[in-house]
Structure 1
């Protein structure tokens, strides 16, 4: 498991005074400020942040050291990370997306189907994007208890009972 968890991403500049548009990936979107300072993935930049207002699809935020529209635009696409130990512990049936990526996916009979490439959420519920051996196309697996009855982080595996024909 990674010692850093992605909690947000900069979507670009907001206005001309150095504010950025920030998309929060935390369960309570405003709680992203509680985990500051946030760092870039490589750890080379660190930012304290102040949420100035809610905007569509996120927040307008002031990041330390960002004073102009050009500096804010340069950060577009930057993912922001918090140390795992600053984040809340999760109940047994909840997982950080970062912990699921890369896990092997097996069917209930023990046959390996692939590995988790990404965790997606387009509004309704999470989907696991599963890459299968020898195929360029991925499969979207609903991340529900009925379809994914077992997640074993210690063993690095997920057991699935996929809908009929999904992996054919």
Structure 2
């Protein structure tokens, strides 16, 4: 069972035991299919599983009713906690679409097969940006767009880019 970070509980909802989940991604469509979430309870490997009993999804967040949460106080205790989901519960992305967790750690190559660095994170903004830790030790921001990103091979853990002149020097 692989768990990936999905979002954070920002606060309780109303006077009941509901919680507001703010996702790390702008796309909440997967939440309709997710049956349970995992929340860190203590140490790095300690998770508690919560079955989702009900959900209300808006553009920027979701309200979840979780099994085992009976009171407002119990919901408040989860405030600020990170929420994880099983990768198996996520729908398969369309062709040429990827989950961020699939891209982090991939090696980045130039079109002439020169290793440039590794993807350390991705910004979720109007235009997704790959943050690449270059072999030189510096960080480069690479727009995740078709003219620059030529190939993504998740299985072989590589991305091929053709950056415009000067992009890697910024």
* TM-score normalised by the chain length of structure 2: 0.79
Q: Equivalent residue for 1:67?
A: 70
1:141 aligns with 142
Q: From the superposition, tell whether residues 117 and 39 of structure 1 become closer, same or farther in structure 2 (CA, over 3 Å).
A: same
User: Are residues 1:109 and 2:108 paired?
Assistant: no
CA contact (8 A) 2:35 2:89 kept: no
Give how far 1:150 is off. 0.7
Unaligned runs of 5+ in 1: none
Structure 2 spans left out of the alignment, 5+ residues: none
TM-score (norm 1): 0.80
* RMSD, aligned CA: 2.7
Distance in 1 of aligned mates of 2:123 and 2:25:
14
- Checking the alignment, whether the CA contact within 8 Å between 1:7 and 1:32 is kept in structure 2 is no
Summarize the alignment of residues 11-50 of structure 1 with structure 2, pairs less than 5 Å apart. 11-24=10-23, 29=28, 31-40=30-39, 42=45, 44-49=47-52, 50=54
